[in-house]
Amino acid sequence: MKLVLILLVSTGWTLCASQFYYQALMDYVENRLLAIEGHMHLWQEQLRQHHGELQDLHKQSNKTMEALRQQHGVLTKDMAAAAARVERVERDMDFVESRTSPRACANQAERVVEQGVWSQEESRGDQDQGWEEIPSRVSDCVEITSAIRSAKILKRMGASKGVWFRDPRSSKVYVFNGTAGDTVYQFESVKEFGGSAAGALGRPIKLPSDWRGSGVAVYNGYLYYIQQGADVQVVKYDILRGEPVDAAILPVESHSVVYSLNPETLADIAVDDQGLWLLYANSESEPNINLAKMDPITLDIEQIWDTRCPRDKSEAAFVACGTLYVVYNTRLASRSRVQCVFDVNNKVTSEEAPLFYFPRRYGAHASLKYNPEEKQIYSWDDGYQILYRLSAKRKLLV
């Protein structure tokens, strides 16, 4: 009986302790839930506050974006108006230049010299022989280029630098893509070239050696180009027969470039009404561009002139009617302009030498090739092929 009583008392105490423990646990859980509910209420208040702030920010952003769009529209209109004004100013400058006839540097030849044939058999030591003064063998021209009459962007194809031109004696167009290579591309006409796709390069003509720079020309069915190797040479290539027919070594150092802004061009070849011309520098220390009259059949150098036109800041040049026009620019490409004129017949005076600007386009000219039949220039400007039609006036013949 005593044992049963003890068990009952023990069980009662155990039940009381368990009830107390569970009650304490429930109280703890309830307190934690209340705390969580309090935090949730606080978070909801903060969320509502942040949502309101985000709505205000969204409204403010919309207002700011709308104001920016309006400002962008105004700025776009201002830029378009500024571009129109710049274009109008350039047209006015061209008009004023044509009216006021600004002058370039017109140099006259102090001495006309003759050198023997430049051939592969000739030794470099012969260049130190004496020079003989002779009269000019170039027939007189009565016109001088005075301005750029119009410009036409034909298309854009190929590399940023290259050469293209039309054969003066035919309708065929030749494209030299890049600054060096052994392939030239032929088109039947300017119309075919202009209408071809950007990637279409025409009929390829494989040359026996690499050409370099803008020193290339086509004359009377022959292709003339500058080849650089142990010596710098002019190569004459028969297009119809597909083989080289002659070559001549130039008396220049391998790394003396004719235009400082186009260092790929060691020497340049030009064509005009008078025939074939060569532009080069004797050495890297030579400050001026030399002009030579070349026999297109034998590649003999008939006459040489020191033009006194600086190589510094020159980008290209062309010859028209026996007169050399050197085009200058800046290293950060700006507006190209003819700044030095040299007439082999001494018929251009400083008073009439034209200083004219090319219309501002994309960069700087990699090449300028004059076509005497059309009186226009084929140019390559940052991958764009551009035609410049020229205006001419009579020289002040005395």
Measured between alpha carbons, how far is 70 from 365 in angstroms, rounded to an integer? Answer: 39
The amino acid occupying position 63 is K
pLDDT at 231: 81
Q: With respect to residue 181, please indicate whether it lies within any of the assigned structural domains.
A: yes
Measured between alpha carbons, how far is 35 from 43 in angstroms, rounded to an integer? Answer: 12
Q: With respect to residue 299, please indicate whether it lies within any of the assigned structural domains.
A: yes
Work out the angle at residue 199's Cα, subtended by the Cα atoms of residues 195 and 201, and round it to the nearest 5 degrees: 75
Is residue 196 within 8 A of residue 205, CB to CB? The reply is: no
More confident residue, 195 or 204: 204
Work out the angle at residue 355's Cα, subtended by the Cα atoms of residues 135 and 386, and round it to the nearest 5 degrees: 100
Cα–Cα nearest to 261, from 293, 289, 230, 282: 289
Is residue 319 within 8 A of residue 272, CB to CB? The reply is: yes
Structural domain of residue 269, as residue ranges? 104-394
Least confident of 121-135, 255-269, 374-388: 121-135
Per-residue pLDDT at 323 exceeds 70: yes
**SS3 of 352-396:** CCECCECCCCCCCEEEEEEECCCCEEEEEECCEEEEEEEEEEECC
Q: With respect to residue 209, please indicate whether it lies within any of the assigned structural domains.
A: yes
Q: N- to C-terminal Cα distance for the chain? A: 158
Write the CATH number for 351. 2.120.10
Q: What is the mean pLDDT of the chain?
A: 82
Measured between alpha carbons, how far is 114 from 111 in angstroms, rounded to an integer? Answer: 10
pLDDT at 129: 38
Q: Classify the C-alpha dihedral 205-211-217-222 as positive or negative.
A: negative
Q: With respect to residue 65, please indicate whether it lies within any of the assigned structural domains.
A: no
β-bridge mates for residue 326, sequence order: 317, 340
Number of domains in the chain: 1
Q: What is the mean pLDDT of residues 68-91?
A: 83
Measured between alpha carbons, how far is 275 from 294 in angstroms, rounded to an integer? Answer: 8
The per-residue pLDDT for range 220-246, each reduced to its tens digit, is: 889 999 997 778 899 999 999 999 999
* pTM of structure: 0.71
pLDDT at 109: 55
> Residue 164 has which token pair?
């293209």
Measured between alpha carbons, how far is 357 from 324 in angstroms, rounded to an integer? Answer: 16
Proportion of the chain above pLDDT 70, given as a percent: 80
The per-residue pLDDT for range 281-299, each reduced to its tens digit, is: 988 888 999 999 999 999 9
Is residue 57 within 8 A of residue 50, CB to CB? The reply is: no
The amino acid occupying position 349 is T
Q: With respect to residue 215, please indicate whether it lies within any of the assigned structural domains.
A: yes
The amino acid occupying position 272 is D
pLDDT at 331: 81
More confident residue, 327 or 27: 327
| DSSP H or E segment with residue 12 | helix 2-100
Measured between alpha carbons, how far is 207 from 214 in angstroms, rounded to an integer? Answer: 16
| DSSP H or E segment with residue 42 | helix 2-100
The amino acid occupying position 188 is E
Q: With respect to residue 45, please indicate whether it lies within any of the assigned structural domains.
A: no
Instruction: For the chain, give percent helix, strand, coil, nearest 5.
Output: 30, 35, 35
Is residue 308 within 8 A of residue 350, CB to CB? The reply is: no
Q: With respect to residue 67, please indicate whether it lies within any of the assigned structural domains.
A: no
pLDDT at 115: 39
CA 46: distance to chain centroid? 61
The per-residue pLDDT for range 348-398, each reduced to its tens digit, is: 776 677 788 888 777 789 999 999 999 999 999 998 999 999 988 887 655
CA 388: distance to chain centroid? 16
Q: With respect to residue 267, please indicate whether it lies within any of the assigned structural domains.
A: yes
